[in-house]
Structure 1
């Protein structure tokens, strides 16, 4: 699949690559198999070789018993092939039996996407849940790398003009490729550390309760670390943005791509390294430079920092405040949890009934559907229910805080007044038109606005009648217009710009 056509990617097929991670019964076996294939370059293994490796993992307790049998391993391998993580292969072998031939001739190799998924999985499992340090030292490295890139590009262009196929030109192009690769590796690492750090920060600011040691750590995070990150960003990003927005730099990118991508040397389905496409340079520029209607990641970083500092300061202030009501019931809940831990099952039931009012009940309706929870799931492993701050802190669900202040909007007020004046002017013109048609409704042609007002008065007058043979009356008190309806023989015709209104056995009169 060509990397330049993401819209053609089969998402359903690729998402199946993650299916083995959610296999409840055999997930550990699938992980052991994929780690075996991903740990060696050009791994080409048979079911017997995989079975031997799974047997060693079984003895270490990493997989369930019985998973190392060849028949079981073959089933797991076929399932991974169906998901797309492995690809089957075959080669000639010397076998003493048909079974040995079947087990040895069919080989399995890992797919490219399967390796990438397993690599990301192992990296995720090794990652801690704490904050990740932002690689601030990469910002000056990127700034210096851009300047050096322009110098190397000029030297490479000069060498290619002298002798396109000479050793000097090839050496200059090789150094240019090294600089481009280094630059994008540095930017990729910087962007990854920034995303991870601010993802952790967003996770922290949503917490309501803080431990004593966490409060000290968050103070250092606020006062020292975040400030250093923002200072480095403000110091180096202007120079980087200035280089990326130069007119000569944008024109140099085209020459750079020509030197790094010789014509006819690569196929269209090859995944290129970063920096070899125009889209890569556009992405790099968008990370540092604002565009109309599309702020850069640097701007988003500054805004996120301001929000995070404000939220963390409020959290730390609430947790360390000595006056006022207690912000939460953490101490009481910890004491209650200790009582539960030290009590017998009967005492725990009594304690739960006393603490939460969970007395016995008789359910006459069918049991509701549980989402991943049943009577065999411990409460600690069951689904988590989000509790609002007012319930946690005060035990009630009432809204807190003052009513929002109504903001004064002079422009909006003037617009509404202008619209009201226009509506009054149109209504006055309509009333004047109907008043001018007094006594000769069947001889004039009404405008759409006059017809709408007439129909509204006609509806009100008809609603005043108790029977169809009665008369009715309605009026417009603002415009001083009155409409009377009475039974009459024949048909009254009212002409308008959009058609004709006929009233049978009914007559209407309009008086001003």
Structure 2
């Protein structure tokens, strides 16, 4: 990097609109858009590091030595940069009288520099900007455990007759800080995950190596979110039980402690603002983990987004594998066609390749009149003639008026689809019979243990998994039982928790299902005389 100062160099003169004598609150940011902005940023970085080491003033020689060796310019260039930064308001220049040893030294322009408040604020803003752009989102399973632990601590404080306000305030602050980090990182991670899914030009080997680690990461977080999320939801429900719940007095204690330092004439307003702020934080925490009618919780939405990302990643992997195995790809075809055009020996070959690739032949579907045909026979037009130089073609008035040309001929014969309808009717009847048999085999006639549902065939077991999934998705935190019906209203399942029941084992033709023991009752709601199908044509 070379830099020569002159009257046109921004090191000697600020850019237009950012003069040293102009007024404006954002002058310390002018060095970002000026020429040699990289040098200005490095110089300001030297002052920031010096401030961290409790050094206040720096001479040009100190700044020159503090620059990285690969970006170190001459001392005159650094001095010019310091002068320009002082004009913008980033630095303050003071006379350097510490090295005056003779009278003539008073007439030399020697200065020492230090950061101004505006320059320090600008550097802090730029550091926050760089940190926000470089932050990598992550799904923090550890944060879920920390939030649950903090909620248990808050619940223990709520059960005390007179909790310590300082302990309550610090516990709530730790809870809010951990939750804020979890929410922000989850949002950033899902945004970066979508960009990863949309990334189609990545190196195949790199993406394939990364996708398995990412899928494992998502699966672990989803499992933790399901288990920890249910625990956090139960703690939130217990803390916020109606009418006010034990969390209300704790929020007031935290608000009173925050408002205790307010001025006497603004104490009431500060207390009201602090209470509103803490209630809003608590409502945000509840909305993240608890669903209400008409609105799903953010944890549920995050879980759904993470689950949807897995098949999307697999689809990208499939597309990459197809590209590697040589299957047709539009972008690859166009690149190959461009290579053929580049290797063509002359323009005639390129024109033939163009016509073969894109099929841009003459408009043979247009109908012309007899007069035009006679003119063409009398004065033929070669096929190589350009459309710009060739005479015009008069087409049929009917085509110009209606925009379509109907080909005359025999109508197509009507196909007999009776055999296909018969096959579809028989298939529907067979499927209805299988479904009815599965419903009949699943009907328990009362409450039974899950482990007693053995010997199920494939159709009955598939239907049972659907019923079990509907029941588990309808289960509310803290509930002991759940009852739900299928979408078609033909079956009802009632599932009841069985404390101390152990592990249920269900053997099927496809394998063994393991899970916590429950009491289950499956009721067939379909009418006994329901038709199983119709094999009429």
If the length of structure 2 is used for normalisation, what is the TM-score? 0.46
> TM-score when scaled to structure 1?
0.48
